[in-house]
Structure 1
């Protein structure tokens, strides 16, 4: 179990840090195209090339971790990628972190230890190939309900002649992208279970292909939310929805169960909770610091000259100085907006 958790931490670190390095490399590079001159420029850029390799290696390690451990363990631990990214941005990119950032990192780390101590190896339960269509049906129903909710609020906004995005719209886009990210892990795990139970080996690449499609669609919905909404709301909802949907789908569709021992069950549940709380603190740390009384706010270090660059209906938001907001929000917004540049 600990080996799989370590693989997951390395994988999510590779994914997140790799994207930051790719972003850093593209600053001096031309727009990506299939011209030989442009491809060569990307390949010869050290930051972009290292980031690309780390991103690919992280994806491969995540598949290995999913093949060895339950989704209900791997998916929450993968949420610690933001904590790893914050530490990386602090020491490598010299971003200043506040006390809420460090608290979020600490809670996510303790939660990971709790998941590792409470998680246990699962006996592969018999699953049917018909679980895949049922899973797709449930996700489709959720999306119908969320989009119906979205249409109602858009109609209300037009009737009220409101130009700004409602928080409900940001939440819906975050939930939709997070659900798809969670389903991507579940479908990948399902492919490995099919192979263990004697199904055709061709189901593994099919499931991985579906998983990639889920991730790509999730990036699309997250991009729509980040384009006009606040990255704090969209990213938080996506992270929490990814963990919760992955855990629930793993239990319902893959037959994963909570530990039988009460102490182990408590550790696992507490680990899930601490990771979710840690991720929320990391995403919203700058806003939480601004809510502190002024005498306490002066004791909290903040970055200088950093702007999240996030827009909402044509107006620039207040500066957000947390590394999670700068790296995971503004940078991620730019990265997701052109996924082909990142993955080409």
Structure 2
């Protein structure tokens, strides 16, 4: 189990740090397109190439982890990617972190230890190939309800001639993207379970292909919400929905269960809870700092300034509530821009 935990941490570190390096490389690069000159420019950019390879390597490690451990363990641990990204941004990009950031990282780390200690190998002998269509049907019904709810609020906003997104719309986009991210892991795991049960090996690439489609669609929903709404709301809902979906769908569709021992069960449940709280704190740390009482905020801020003043001069911009979300949104924006130029 611990091997799968470490693989997941390495995978999510590769994914998130890879996106940071790709974003750093694209600063001096043109929008991505299929033109030979543009492709050559990307291929010779050291930061972008390293980031791309780390991203791909992280995806391969994630598939390896999913083949070894329950998705109800892997998916919550993958939520620690934001904590790893924050640490990397602090030491590599010289971004200043406040006390709430460090608290979120600590809780996510403790939660990961709890999940590793409480998780156990699962027997998936009762899985049926017919559960995949049922899973797709349930998710489709859920999306019909969420999109119906979304249309209602959009119509109300148009009737009232309001330009800004309502918080409910931000929540819906975050939930939809998070559900798809969680389902991507579940479907990938289902392919490996089918292989263990003696089903045709072709089901593995089929499930992985469906998983990639789910991730891409979730990426679209998240980027749409980030473009028109607030990153803090969309990213928080996406992170929590991804963890909850992975756990619930893993138990319902893959037959995963809680540990039988009370201590292990409590450790796993607390681990899930601490990881979610840690992720929420990391996403909303900047906003939470603004709502703290002024004396307490001044004490925390003075401690940060005293410890990290030399680094602040390197990066003066304020810390975004969700660095990974903004990185993803910026990357997709480059792709959309290049696509629009080609059509023009």
Task: Write out aligned runs for 1:1-344 (5 A).
Answer: 1-299=1-299, 300=301, 301=304, 307=317, 321-322=318-319, 325=322, 327-338=323-334
The Cα of 1:124 is off from its aligned counterpart by 2.3
The Cα of 1:341 is off from its aligned counterpart by 9.8
SS at 1:298 equivalent: helix
TM-score by length of 2: 0.92
8 Å CA contact retained: 1:188, 1:207: yes
- Residue matched to 2:309: none
SS at 2:28 equivalent: coil
8 Å CA contact retained: 2:176, 2:221: yes
Tell me which protein shows more helix as a share of its residues. Answer: 2
**How far apart in 2 are the matches of 1:306 and 1:59?**
33
**How far apart in 2 are the matches of 1:341 and 1:240?**
30
- Residues 46 and 340 (structure 1), Cα distance of their counterparts in 2 relative to 1, 3 Å cut: farther
> Between Structure 1 and Structure 2, how many residues are aligned?
328
TM-score by length of 1: 0.92
Q: For structure 1, which segment, 146-155 or 283-292, has the greater mean C-alpha deviation from structure 2 after superposition? A: 146-155
**How far apart in 1 are the matches of 2:335 and 2:107?**
31
**How far apart in 2 are the matches of 1:219 and 1:5?**
24
- Residues 130 and 83 (structure 1), Cα distance of their counterparts in 2 relative to 1, 3 Å cut: same
Over residues 71-113 of structure 1, what are the superposed CA-to-partner deviations in whole Å (9 max), with x where a residue is unaligned?
A: 0000000000000000000000000000000000000000000
**How far apart in 2 are the matches of 1:271 and 1:296?**
29
8 Å CA contact retained: 2:223, 2:328: no
Q: For structure 1, which segment, 116-125 or 327-336, has the greater mean C-alpha deviation from structure 2 after superposition? A: 327-336
**How far apart in 2 are the matches of 1:288 and 1:336?**
28
- Residues 169 and 323 (structure 1), Cα distance of their counterparts in 2 relative to 1, 3 Å cut: closer
The Cα of 1:293 is off from its aligned counterpart by 1.3
Superposed CA RMSD: 1.7
**How far apart in 2 are the matches of 1:35 and 1:336?**
18
Over residues 154-188 of structure 1, what are the superposed CA-to-partner deviations in whole Å (9 max), with x where a residue is unaligned?
A: 12222222221100000000000000000000000
SS at 2:120 equivalent: coil
**How far apart in 2 are the matches of 1:24 and 1:121?**
40
The Cα of 1:338 is off from its aligned counterpart by 4.3
**How far apart in 1 are the matches of 2:59 and 2:146?**
29
8 Å CA contact retained: 1:235, 1:283: yes
SS at 1:97 equivalent: coil
**How far apart in 1 are the matches of 2:32 and 2:290?**
39
- Residues 56 and 285 (structure 1), Cα distance of their counterparts in 2 relative to 1, 3 Å cut: same
SS at 1:3 equivalent: helix
Q: Flag structure 2 segments of 5+ consecutive residues without an equivalent.
A: 306-311, 339-344
Q: For structure 1, which segment, 147-156 or 188-197, has the greater mean C-alpha deviation from structure 2 after superposition? A: 147-156
8 Å CA contact retained: 2:177, 2:221: yes
